Structure formats: structure tokens, C-alpha cells
Amino acid sequence: MYSSGQNNDDEETPIRPPIDSESWCRTKTSEDVKHTFAWTIERFSERPETNGSFLWSSKFTIRDNDDQATQWKLKLYPKGDTSEAVGYLSVYLSNQTETPVKARYEFTVLDSSKNRQNKVKSQFTEFKSKPDSWGFRKFLNADYLKTKAALLVPDDSLTIICDVSIVGHEKVLSGSKFPEETSKGVSKNKQRCHKQLSQDLECGFRDSSFSDCKIVCESKTFDCHKFMLSWRSPVFRAMFQNDMEEATSGKVEIKNLSSDVVEDLLFFIYTGNTPNLAKGADKLLAAADMYQLDHLKSMCEEKLINTTSIDNTVAHLVLGDMYQANLLKKSALSFVVKNMSTVIRTKDWKEELIRHPQLMAEVMEAMARKDTSSTKEPSAKRAKQS
């Protein structure tokens, strides 16, 4: 079941000051968003890198409290990044986002008992737009790592943990005993009206009063309204306009989707909201494509792109191709090509592509087009070891 959301910070009435005044303001900072990323490097003792050479982790995404996505990578120099760091591991956190990001970060090594060792922690850091990197030149002594290999490099696998805290956004809320009609006030009123409309339509979705059609899926029946379904989905409109069984019976039976997905689909049709998008974007993408809900399809596509990883990138490539989600397909194809050496070690990747020979051919063509010449990496900022 869904519940109506609470007012967000923009809609809050600023708390009054401790004394009586005609006008006031309050500066607020939202809570930091914390994220943990684990990077395991197998056969670490055999790493071929020399001093000044590095390897990248995969890209990972963190969303802040305003649901803005930031993207990151870790960068490791197994033999140190400069002559000053010979005999040490150098490690950096790199901002892969097009805009500046404020963050704090902490690096540790996970030992054989899954305890964190060798903690190093940054202060408040302002990352510039990509590729801006900050970290520790002398993160870990290589000789010490060899001495403690059984503890810190079990099975010759080094696991580096990076804890990132995205600094909360600052907002200034103001108030007055005699508020003026401002453009900002009008905008807030519009937001409240839209939110109220969404809540009222949610009530209409949950209440069978005045409903004139039924959507049946598995063992669940949803009482709906033809006008709402018709104006939101061209597919439903065609059902109710043409001389079809649904037009006369007022009943639509859906057999190729689960009832949970149908409920999410109908909830979006009525309210424009998708509270379960994070855990069901792949299935909702199929439903959005089936009922020609372009905006919902774009939302699903964006969510899937932002959550692409080594484990799911082939599945995302197949989804993008199957449902003509071109941005998702392009993103997944690029991810597969860049990370092919890791992707081929994942479970069932080959079987998945063999079932889609055209996609397999596209992957091979993209690999053939890949420019093998490496572009010189721009120098990154490096935080001093404290």
C-alpha cells in the first residue's frame, strides 16, 4: 500500500525566531548521505603496475537527499603515484560527475575477519567537476602489507573500503508576519496544488466509488475510471473507444504482468508518482512500454542507467534492446565494452547474450571499434597525508 508523502523542506513554514520579530530566516542543512563502496582486487601480489601506474574501480552512483545522482570511481596506484610514494599504495576518490560535489571520505582495508584496518579519513573536501581526485599518497606501506598478507590480503585478494558522505545542501527559509505575494510564493502554491491533486487522485484510485471499469490481474481486481486510463494511455484509450470487448464489458484482464507491477502502473497513471521505482524499474519499464507511458518509461530508463553495475549490465543491455529504451541500451553497451574483462567473469553473461545473437554481434562490433590508444590521464589533485 502507498501512503501520501509528507511536506518537504521547501514547503515547511520556517520556525519562528526566539524573539518576536516582523520577519526572519533560518539557514538549514540537510543531513549528509552516506555510502559504502567495496573494491576487491584479486591476485594482488601479481599486479603489473609500476610506480606512477594505476587501475580504476568500476563507477558507482550516490544519490543525495534531493535525489541528484553523483558518480564516483576509486583510483589505486599499487606501487605509489610518485617517486615520493615509492614503497606505498596510493589511493584516491575521483568525482565522475559534471558538477562540483562536497563530500567527506574514509579509506580502510578489510581484513580476513571482515574487520576494517588502516583507517585514513579526510576533512570536508570540495571536489571540482570530473575528473577531480582526492585521497592519500601514502595510504599503506607495501612492506607492511606483505608482512601482514595473511590478515590484510586473504587469498591474495585486497579489499579496499571507501565510505563517502555527500554533504547536505544548505537552504535558507524565510518568513514574515506580512508575507508578500512573490514569484517564489506562487511557485510554492503551485507545488502544493499539484501535490494535493496527486493525493486526491490517489484517493480516487483507492476508492471504488464512481469507478466504471475493472482491471484484473492474477487474483487482484482494481476499480478504475475509463476517462483516467484513456487520457493517460493510448493503449487503454483504444480499448475503450473501439468495438472491443473491454469497451462493452468495462473489464480489462492483464495476463503478462504481475499484480504488483500493474498496481505500480495504475498508481503512476493516477498520481504521477513511482514509490517502488528503485526496486522494480526493470519490470515497470516493460509495463510502461506496453501501455505507451513515455514519461514513466523515461523514469525507469534513468533509474536503470544510474544503477548499472558489473552484475546487471548485460541484463540492462537486453532490456534496453527489448523495449527500445535507446539511452539505456547505449549506456549498457558502453559499460560492457569498457569493462569486458570483468563482465565475462560474471555468472550467465554468455548464455544471456547467446539468446540474443543480434546483441552479441553489436557487442563484438563495439569492441572492434573501441579505440585502443589510451588518452593521457589529466593530473588529479592529491590530498596530503595527514
Q: Looking at residue 115, what is its pLDDT?
A: 94
Nearest to 50 by CA among 91, 102, 93, 87: 87
d(CA 84, CA 74): 21
d(CA 46, CA 346): 21
Residues whose CB falls within 8 Å of the CB of residue 360, separated by 6 or more in sequence, listed in order: 353, 354
The three three-digit cell numbers of residue 344, written as one number: 565475462
Give the chain's domains with CATH numbers: 33-170 (2.60.210.10), 196-305 (3.30.710.10), 308-368 (1.25.40.420)
**What H or E segment, with its residue span, contains residue 170?**
strand 170-176
Q: Looking at residue 93, what is its pLDDT?
A: 95
Task: Show pLDDT as tens, one digit a residue, over the chain (386 residues).
Answer: 444 444 444 444 556 777 888 788 888 777 788 999 999 999 999 999 999 999 999 999 998 777 778 899 999 999 999 999 999 999 999 999 888 888 999 999 999 999 999 999 998 888 888 788 999 999 999 999 999 999 999 999 999 999 999 887 777 777 776 655 444 555 667 778 888 888 888 888 888 888 899 999 999 999 999 999 999 999 999 988 877 888 888 899 999 999 999 999 999 999 999 989 988 999 999 999 999 999 999 999 999 998 888 889 999 999 999 999 999 999 999 888 888 888 888 877 888 888 888 888 988 888 888 754 344 444 444 544 33
Nearest to 332 by CA among 345, 351, 348, 349: 349
Strands (E) in 177-242, as ranges, are 213-217, 220-224
Q: Looking at residue 386, what is its pLDDT?
A: 33
Query: What is the phi-psi region of residue 210: left when phi exceeds 0, alpha when psi lies from -120 to 50, beta otherwise?
Result: left
Helix (H, G, I), strand (E, B) or coil at 90: strand
